[in-house]
Structure 1
Amino acid sequence: MLTLTQDLYDRIVAHARADHPDEACGMVAGPEGSGRPERFIPMLNAARSPTFYEFDSGDLLKLYRELDDNDEEPVIVYHSHTATEAYPSRTDITYANEPGAHYVLVSTADTDDAGPFQFRSFRIVDGEITEEEIRVVEAY
């Protein structure tokens, strides 16, 4: 189960909506070994594409060094789908290289500024996808 605060949930959704029609992407880091998402890290989609996302390799290297320095790890890796449901694509599965992370997908396919959206979380390990329950709390 993924447990995250309402603030983090809202920030992920806002980023997905702001970058639409391109896919948005980012991470939420937490203290190493805690499994608790705390620090919201929106990233630039270097692909600038409505059907694909890619972290800039320089930004990603800098981020992982920062995570190491802060004794943090990626707890959530998120991105949006702008034309399809919030379910991992084959490409998403291929690039899922954080076995301990929650992979959150937000679909902005059928949304406007106030409209509905899908927010789903998955574990992706060795190509196997498992959807998980999401619990949104006010605070930890």
Structure 2
Amino acid sequence: MEREKMTKQAYKEKTAPYRAWLNSISIPVALIVLFIAVFLGLTVNAAGMIIFVFAIITHVNYKKIQAPKICHVAPILYYVYNVVSVFYVMSLIVYPQVNIVSALLSLTNLVLLILVIAFYFVAAQAIKKQFPRMKEDYNEAVQAYKGKK
């Protein structure tokens, strides 16, 4: 009996929910690791940009799989977090000594980061609820696609 062959497009569509769920778990974990690394004084040059790119990809994937609206909150908050970060860095460059503006921006960033992490986990839960068979579908799609090669 020959396995059913799967096109690359069908493979991408079938595996999209699982990949979106996986990113919804990976991004907040990466943000936590990045925050701890920065807090410990480690230099992490491109890590923030890589996470940001994954957030954009994940946001696009949410639209493709028609994820619940709550899933879109985390990426949007992450975009706001990054904009506030730019203003925070600019305030530190203009006024290197501690001032009220940089302190407020720093506190705002911390609150936004906590919300981003929480909403990514909420998004992961919402995707899991919407696609209860996503892992099985993913495994079946991988097997069907590999059978093609």
TM-score by length of 1: 0.26
Higher relative contact order (CA 8 A, sep 6+): 2
Higher helix share: 2
Larger Rg: 2
TM-score between both structures, scaled by the size of structure 2: 0.25
